[in-house]
A and B are shown apart, each in its own frame.
Chain A
Amino acid sequence: MQQFLESYLPAAPLVVLVYAMIPLMIILLYALFAIWFERKVAGHIQDRLGPMRVGGWHGWSQSIADLLKILQKEDIVPAKADRFLFKLAPFIAFAASYGAYAVIPLSSEYIGSMIDVGVFYFIAITSLLSISIIMAGWASNNKWSLLGAMRTAAQTVSYEVPTVVTILSVIVVTGTLNLMEVTEMQSGNTTLGFLPNWIIFHSPFMLLAFVLFFIAALAEAHRVPFDLPESESELVGGYQTEYSGMRWAVFMLTEYVDLLLLSLIGVVLFFGGWNSPFGSFMDGPVWGVFWSVSKAMVLVFVMMWLRWTLPRLRVDQLMNLCWKYLIPICFVNLILIALWEMLF
C-alpha cells in the first residue's frame, strides 16, 4: 500500500499524510451514515419512520444537513470557563479515538503502524479519551459537566479492567500483540471443517469472552445502558452541556468514531478482521476493507439495537455490575481459556 502510494505521489511527507488520512475518510463517511442509521433504527424500533424529508429516499442526507447547520452555529465559551482546556478538550477526545486506528488492520494491505505492541498501544491511547472528558467537564465550570466527568472517570477506571482481561484472554490464544498477526492467524476454514478459523469459534469460553468484551466495550464507548456521563435526563448533557457548534459536533463525532473503533477491535480479536467468512471466496485487499467494515457495522447495529432496548443503569448498579460480576467472570474465563490452550 505504501509502495503503491510512493509510486504515484511526489513527496514522502505527502505519502505519509495520505496514508494516515485513509481511515479518516472512512470514519467521516461512516459517521454521516451511522448518525442517520441510528435515527432510523430508533424510529423503526419505536414504530416511527425517523428522518424522511431531506434528500429524497428516506431522508438519507439528514446528517449532511445537520452538519451544515452545526457549521453555522456560534462557538460559545462560558465566561468563567477555563478557555484553553475548554477549547482543547474535544480535539484531544477525537485525537485519542483516531490515534487508536493506527493499529487496526483494515485490510491485509493496510495497517497504520505494524508495531508489535499494538494491543497495548490501543488500550493506552483509548484511555486518553477519559482524560479529555474530565478536561471538558472541569473546564466548563458547570455542575452538570463536572458530575458527568466524574462519572466518566469512575466508569472508565472500572471498565478498563474487564476490557483488558478479555483482550488478554484472546492474546493467550494468539501469542502476539500485533493485530495484523492476530488477523492473519484467523485465515482459512479449519474450525470443524466448515466454520471460519475465527477466534470466537476457537473454544466455548471464547464466546463468553466476546460477550464480556462487548459489555465492557459498550461501557467504554459510553453507550446506553452505560451512558451515565451524558445521561440527558439526569445531567442535561453531562460533559457536553456547555459545548455548542462545531466543538460539540467533534464530541458527537468522537462518540461514533469510538463506537466503530471498539466494533473494529472486537472484529479483529474475535471475528477474523479482514478475513472473508467464505474462505478464499471474496478474499483480497479490497474485499478486506469491505469485510472488516461490514463486520464492524453489524456490531454497531447491535449496539444501536441495545441502546433502544435497555434502560440506563444507576451509578451504583454500574459499579456493582463491573466489580461484582464482570471482573470475577473475566478472570475465571481467562483461567479456563489458558487451561484449554494448555490441553489442546
Chain B
Amino acid sequence: MVKLLNNTYTTFKTIFNGMGITFRHLFKRSVTVQYPEVRDVLPERVRLKLHVNIDDCIGCRLCERACPVECITIGTIKSTDDDDLGETSTGHKKRLWVNQFDIDMAKCCYCELCVHPCPTDCITMVEDYEYSVYDRQDLLFGFSDMTPEQVNEAEEKLAKEALEKKKKKEAAKLAKKKKAESSENQPAADEDAEKAAKKAEREAKRAARRAEKEAEKARKEAEGGASDSGSTGASDESQPENRQDPNE
C-alpha cells in the first residue's frame, strides 16, 4: 500500500517535471535555420570548394604533387622564345601554357594541402557549397581557359621551334667540323702557342677574381655586425626565387 502510494507520487512528480521541461522548450527559440532564405554565417577559413585563378597559374604543378588523393590533373606546354605569356599578379613570369587544369571535386578530401604550396596563390578554397550535381562527371571542374585550337597552335609552335633549334645545332656542329677540318692543315707549333695564350688568360682571370673576393671580405669586416641582419634579410628575399625553381 505504501509502495503503491509512493510509486504513484513518484510517477506524477516525474511526469510534471518532464512536462515542465517540454513546456519551457515549447516557447524557446528554435534552432532551425530556414535554409534557402536564411544562411548561416560561414567560418572564416572554411574549406568548401577549390577555385583556380588560371591567369595567375604558372603551371608549376606543386598543387598536383601536394594532393593526397590525386584529384588535380595539370597539363602544360612549354612556350616558345618569341611568345611572351606575361606575368602573374604576384610578379612571377609565366613560361608555360597551362592547357589542362582539372580538379575532381568528387575525389577532393578538402584537406587544403594544395593551397599552401602555390607560389602565386592562384588555387584557393572558396565559400561555395551548393554544387551538387546529378552526374559524378559534372564534379570534374576544368579551369584551363585554352581552346583545343590554341592548344594545337602552342604545340605546333613548340615542335617547330624545337625543329629549328635542332637544325641550328646541327648547322653549328657542321660549321665546327668544317673549322676543325680546315685547322688540320696548320702546323702543331701554332697549336702550342694557342694553348699557352689560353693558359695565361685563365690565370689572369683567376687572380682578378681572388682580388675581388678579398676586397669584398675587407668591406664586410668594415661594416661589422650591422651587416649581418641585412644579409639575412637578403636571404629571405631570395626565397621566392628558390620556390620558382621547379618550373624552370
Contacts and interface: CB of A to CB of B under 8 A. Distances in A.
Size class of A's contact patch?
10 to 19
Contact of B26 (A41, A49, A324, A329): A41
B25 A44 contact: yes
B18 A47 contact: no
Interface stretch (A60-68, A162-170, A306-314): A306-314
Interface class of chain A by DSSP: helix
A47 B7 contact: no
Interface residues of B, number: 18
B31 A45 contact: no
A52 interface: yes
Q: Determine chain B's interface SS by DSSP, over half rule.
A: helix
A45 B7 contact: no
Nearest to B4: A325
B27 interface: yes
A310 B18 contact: yes
B32 A49 contact: yes
A46 B29 CA distance: 10
A323 to B, nearest CB: 12
Contacts of A310: 15, 18
B15 to A, nearest CB: 7
B43 to A, nearest CB: 23
A43 interface: yes
Contacts of A306: 15, 19
A306 B26 CA distance: 12
B28 interface: yes
A47 B31 contact: yes
A325 B8 contact: yes
Nearest to B25: A45
Contact of B30 (A41, A48, A324, A325): A48
Given A305-B19, A309-B18, A324-B4, A52 B25 contact: no
B25 to A, nearest CB: 5
Interface string B25-50: 11111111010000000000000000
A322 to B, nearest CB: 13
Closest 6 CB pairs of A and B: A49-B32, A309-B22, A309-B18, A45-B22, A47-B30, A44-B26
14 contacts: A41-B26, A44-B30, A45-B26, A47-B28, A47-B31, A48-B32, A49-B30, A49-B34, A305-B22, A305-B26, A306-B15, A306-B19, A309-B15, A310-B18
Interface of B: 4, 7-8, 15, 18-19, 21-23, 25-32, 34
